Amino acid sequence: MRSPRPYSPQGGPGAQSLNERRKAATQLDIARAACELFAEHGPDGTTAEDIAHRAGVALRTFYRYFRNKQEAVAPLLAGGGDAWRALLAEEDPGTPLTEALERAVTRSLTAPQAVEEGLEVTRVLLRAATTDEALRAVWYRVNQDSEERLVPVLARLAGPEAEPLAVRLLAAAATDAIRISLELWSTTDTPPSAPGSPSELAVRCLRDLTGAMPLMR
pLDDT in tens, 161-193: 999 999 999 999 999 999 999 999 999 999 998
56 sits in the region (left: phi over 0; alpha: psi -120 to 50; else beta) called: left
Quick check: 1 pLDDT over 70? no
Rounded CA-CA distance 33/15 in Å is 27
Quick check: 135 pLDDT over 70? yes
Residue type, 42: G
Please tell me the pTM assigned to this model.
0.87
Among 22, 8, 43, 41, smallest CA distance to 138 is for 43
The C-alpha angle 7, 142, 205, rounded to 5 degrees, equals: 110
Comparing 16-20, 150-154, 157-161, 171-175, which segment has the lowest mean pLDDT?
Answer: 16-20
